[in-house]
Amino acid sequence: MRKLLLPLVLVAASPLLPAAQLEIEVEIPQLAVAEYHRPYVALWLEQNGQYVANLNVWYDIKMKDSEGEKWLKDMRQWWRRSGRTLEFPVDGVSAATRAPGVHTLSYSASDAALQNLQAGEFQLLVEAAREVGGRELLRIPLQWPISQQQTGETRGSHELGRVAATLTP
Amino acid sequence: MKTFTKLGLLTLAACLSFSAHAHRAWMLPSATVLSGDAPWVTVDAAVSNDIFYFEHFPLQIEGVGQPFVRPGAQPPATAEGKPAPQPMQRPRANLQIQRPDGSLAQPQFGNTGRYRSTFDVELDQKGTWKLAIANQGLFASYELDGERQRWSGKLEDLSTEIPAKADKLQVTQSSSRMEVFVTSGAPTEQVLKPAGKGLELAPVTHPNDLVHGEAARFVFLLDGKPAANVKVKLIREGIRYRDNLDEIELTTNDQGELSVDWPQAGMYWMEAVSSMPVKDDSPVTQRRDSYTATLEVMAP
């Protein structure tokens, strides 16, 4: 039922304009290593150094006996800020790992995660950890609410490639 | 299929071959440079993803604790009340503890737990000791009616156990050697003499005389002869507390030699692998030899 109702609620809540949104591009680099595993990646929002909301967590959700959860703690900053208090899988947040390439995610400004923000600067955090590989954390500062088009981007040096965020009013 | 994979990993762990994939087997001594009359070392032995962290399986060693059975891994009884067949128990690794004079010692206070085995050695002789686990294996992979199959066993059984209509047959002869050196008093050379089989370390710099700030020189031998072009990786302990693996990758020169500049003091895991096609008339198509050692680099 929830799945049916949700779009209706969104339509009702939005004005008849193109919906304001946050679009995120995350590049997972192709790595020339002997043993490659897709990275675990967490995307979440922080404000004033405090955790606000999770957007997505990519991990091995298909492993038998939830064994893929064993390495969630390797995204150590996210684990401390949020992960360790969650029950997995998390509806709408847990997702499978992704292959090297550029992945685009979109969130409506009316999405609960964004609605938890207060006016002012906030940060998008992207943390990646790879089995028998390294770990990397990137931050992009952004402004809430979305009064004008904003873009922020940064680039990782080993586990993540380009990460960009666009806020469209 | 998942169960098969897991069993496969156990098999790999037991055989200590194919360590290029996923799980690495290692031994970690409590110390490598010791003084006093008859000091002890205690050694952890495990198979894991992350070097020197206990997170996957114990390294099972003959004479150290009880064979490891994963709790809850007992297969359920069948409807007739008969117990289901046990998964095949792989042989435990053979550990050789060599005193400085070449005589053998036994591991003491052995235990095998969920994630690691531990044992102790009383260094009742001055000089350099060697703890070694060496293995050989024969592995085959082939396709039967489009399905990928695996086999391991003895060379003489190969022709009878692998169907004649097997496609894309690859037979790999593998050897692996894992070593740890510890020295009570002054370093000695006796235990460093190569056996002349598989891939071995013939240290120019003594493995218990490694210091940050001094380059170490090592020669690798394959069947006793200098092995050129061997890929060597070194990983420093403590990877949980840094973002990069900081792997050091080196290759031996034409004389089988390489030089290591240690970025800092600490325990290092070194892995050398030699892999080459076999071009004789045996059914073996590939040969893979690996050598791993845990080396301690002291602060100057």
Summarize pLDDT for B287-299 with one digit per residue, the tens: 999 999 999 999 9
Distance from C-alpha of A73 to C-alpha of A18, rounded to nearest angstrom:
38
Number of Cβ within 10 Å of residue A6's Cβ equals 11
- Optimal mutation site among B6, B51, B245, B290, interface A, most CBs of chain A within 10 A: B245
At residue A24, the 3 state secondary structure works out as strand
What type of residue sits at position B134? A
Cβ-defined contact of A64 to B2 (cutoff 8 Å) = yes
Band the pLDDT of A161: cuts 50, 70, 90.
Answer: very high
How many domains does one find in chain A? 1
- Please indicate if any CB of chain B lies within 8 Å of the CB of A135: yes
At residue A71, the 3 state secondary structure works out as helix
- Which pLDDT belongs to residue B70? 79
Band the pLDDT of B82: cuts 50, 70, 90.
Answer: low
Number of Cβ within 10 Å of residue A96's Cβ equals 12
Q: Is A10 left (phi over 0), alpha (psi -120 to 50) or beta?
A: alpha
- Which pLDDT belongs to residue B154? 87
Does residue A121 sit within a domain? yes
- Which pLDDT belongs to residue A25? 98
Band the pLDDT of B166: cuts 50, 70, 90.
Answer: confident
**Arithmetic mean of pLDDT, A103-118:** 95
Cβ-defined contact of B49 to A158 (cutoff 8 Å) = no
At residue A160, the 3 state secondary structure works out as coil
Does residue B82 sit within a domain? no
- Which pLDDT belongs to residue A138? 98
Does residue A152 sit within a domain? yes
Using CB atoms, which residue from B22, B50, B243 is nearest to A35?
Answer: B22
Cβ-defined contact of B244 to A131 (cutoff 8 Å) = no
Does residue A8 sit within a domain? no
pLDDT in tens, B125-146: 999 999 999 999 999 999 988 8
Of the listed ranges A131-135, B4-8, B244-248, the one predicted with least confidence = B4-8
Q: Which domain holds residue B20?
A: 2-64+92-297
Distance from C-alpha of B11 to C-alpha of A48, rounded to nearest angstrom:
50
Q: Which residue has the tokens 């066993």?
A: B153
- Which pLDDT belongs to residue B255? 97
**Nearest CA of chain B to the CA of A54: how many Å?**
22
Cβ-defined contact of A131 to B20 (cutoff 8 Å) = no
**Arithmetic mean of pLDDT, B75-92:** 62
**Taking CB atoms and an 8 Å cut-off, how many pairs form between chains A and B?**
20
- Which pLDDT belongs to residue B84? 57
> Helix (H) and strand (E) counts for chain A?
3, 9
pLDDT in tens, B9-18: 444 434 444 4
The token pair at B269 is 């895991």
User: B129 with B96: CB under 8 angstroms?
Assistant: no
Does residue B269 sit within a domain? yes
3-state secondary structure chain B: CHHHHHHHHHHHHHHCCCCCCCCEEEEEECCCEECCCCCEEEEEEEEECCCCCCCCEECCECCCCCCCCCCCCCCCECCCCCECCCCCCCCCECEEEECCCCCEECCEEEEECCCCEEEEEECCCCEEEEEEEEEEEEEEEEEECCEEEEEECCHHHHHHHCCCCCEEEEEEEEEEEEEEEEEECCCCCHHHCCCCCCEEEEECCCCCCCECCCCEEEEEEECCEECCCCEEEEEECCHHHCCCCCCEEEECCCCCEEEECCCCCEEEEEEEEEEEECCCCCCCCEEEEEEEEEEEEECC
- Which pLDDT belongs to residue A18? 63
Cβ burial of B146 (10 Å; 0-12, 13-18, 19+) is exposed
| Residue B6: closest C-alpha in chain A | A64
Q: Given the DSSP bridges, would you call strands A162-168 and A150-155 parallel, antiparallel or unpaired?
A: antiparallel
Does residue B146 sit within a domain? yes
Does residue A7 sit within a domain? no
Q: Would you tell me which residues 29-48 of chain A have a C-beta closer than 8 angstroms to some C-beta of chain B?
A: 34-35
Does residue B154 sit within a domain? yes
**Arithmetic mean of pLDDT, B256-264:** 97
Distance from C-alpha of B116 to C-alpha of B268, rounded to nearest angstrom:
18
Name the DSSP class of A72: G
pLDDT in tens, B18-65: 434 568 999 999 999 999 999 999 999 999 999 999 999 999 999 999
pTM for the complete prediction? Answer: 0.83
- Which pLDDT belongs to residue A3? 46
How many domains does one find in chain B? 1
Does residue B52 sit within a domain? yes
Cβ-defined contact of A134 to B243 (cutoff 8 Å) = yes
**Arithmetic mean of pLDDT, A62-91:** 93
Does residue A6 sit within a domain? no
Band the pLDDT of B164: cuts 50, 70, 90.
Answer: confident
Band the pLDDT of B81: cuts 50, 70, 90.
Answer: low
**Arithmetic mean of pLDDT, A74-98:** 95
- Which pLDDT belongs to residue A88? 93
Q: Which domain holds residue A140?
A: 21-168
- Which pLDDT belongs to residue B280? 84
| Cα B271 from chain centre | 9
Q: Which residue has the tokens 């206990």?
A: B54
User: A45 with A122: CB under 8 angstroms?
Assistant: yes
First-to-last CA distance in chain B? 51
In this structure, the dihedral spanned by the alpha carbons of residues A13, A19, A21 and A27, taken in order and rounded to 10 degrees, is 130
Distance from C-alpha of A169 to C-alpha of A78, rounded to nearest angstrom:
28
Of the listed ranges A15-19, A24-28, A46-50, A137-141, the one predicted with least confidence = A15-19
Using CB atoms, which residue from A64, A70, A134 is nearest to B245?
Answer: A134
